[in-house]
Structure 1
Amino acid sequence: MARRIPQWTFGERLRKVRRELGLTQGDMAAQLGVGSPAYAAWESGRNQPADLPAVAVKLEHMSGVPRTWFLGWADESPRPDGPGGGMEWAPRGSNPRPAD
């Protein structure tokens, strides 16, 4: 059986991390230095930041989540058992092989 890896949009990734951090959309917008309507448009997928890499760097500093994940360049996901409710990233290749 082939494994399927879910793909999330930038907006979905924003929402996941914002909720993990316990912030409102207004709080997140303020921390990123943008207006609430602009942030809401990003999260809903109606729009994206003009300088997406720069926003990804800010998000990494705020959340500790690698900028590559926000940009969709990383295929790993936070471990659900990590400290902080799933915000710890498992090292690449760290998944143990199932016992036969």
Structure 2
Amino acid sequence: MEQRYLAVVTDLARRLLDAGDPYWVAVEIHGESAQVMTDVDVAASIYLIWAELTDWVELRPGEQEQAFAGMRRAAQEWLALDPGDRDGLGRYLDRWVHNECGYSR
């Protein structure tokens, strides 16, 4: 199940980079993550990241362009990962959840 989920997130990250309005693709990543959080360990962290990025658009509409840039950066960095590299994936998730999105440790 985890491999299928990671492949879906990767596909959505690619779509997000090509989207004129990345918000709706970000919502899809968030939703896919919500559906598998109890079965896939990394999904909870991915859910938090995309919750923060979509909330940024929703709660601070004056910062939409910055939020879109953050979404694109998160997607680009995701696509640079090797999902099979557990350490690299862990570093990405830790940095995005705590340093980029500001969730406490």
- Normalising to structure 1: TM-score of the pair? 0.33
Q: Between Structure 1 and Structure 2, which shows a larger proportion of helix residues?
A: 2
Does 1 or 2 have the higher relative contact order (CA < 8 Å, sep 6+)? 2
Higher CA-based Rg: 1
- Normalising to structure 2: TM-score of the pair? 0.32
